[in-house]
Amino acid sequence: MNLQAFCYLGRLRFPEQLERSLALLPEAEKAEAATLLEAVRNLPPSEILRRWSTLRLKEYVVLRHRTRELTGIFLDERAPALREWCASWLAGQNG
C-alpha cells in the first residue's frame, strides 16, 4: 500500500475518518503514516490534490515501464479499458 496515497486520499475524501483508519494499518506502517499525515494536515485541498496527482502520474510511468519490460505491451497504445485490465493483471502476477 502506498501510504502517501492513503494519507492524501484520506485527507481529501474522508478527513473525519482518517485518524481512526490509521489503526487499521499494520504496526510497521502506522508511525510512517502518522508522520505523513502530520505533514499534510494543514495543507489546503488544492495542494493535496496536486501532490496526489503527481504521485499517481509517477506510479503510472513506473507501471508503463514495467508492463513494457515484462510483456512488450505498450499501455498507451491500448484502449483505456485494456490499460486497466493489463495493469490489474500485472499487479496480480507480480504483486
Q: What does the domain layout of the chain look like in residue ranges?
A: 1-42, 55-95
pTM for the whole structure:
0.72
> With contact defined as beta carbons under 8 Å apart, do 2 and 59 qualify?
yes
How close are the terminal C-alpha atoms of the chain, in Å? 11
- What sign does the dihedral 34-62-43-20 (CA atoms) show? negative
List per-residue pLDDT tens for the chain, 95 residues long.
Answer: 789 998 998 999 988 888 888 888 998 899 999 999 999 989 999 999 999 999 989 988 888 888 888 888 888 888 888 888 887 777 777 55
**Percent helix, percent strand, percent coil in the chain, to nearest 5:** 85, 0, 15
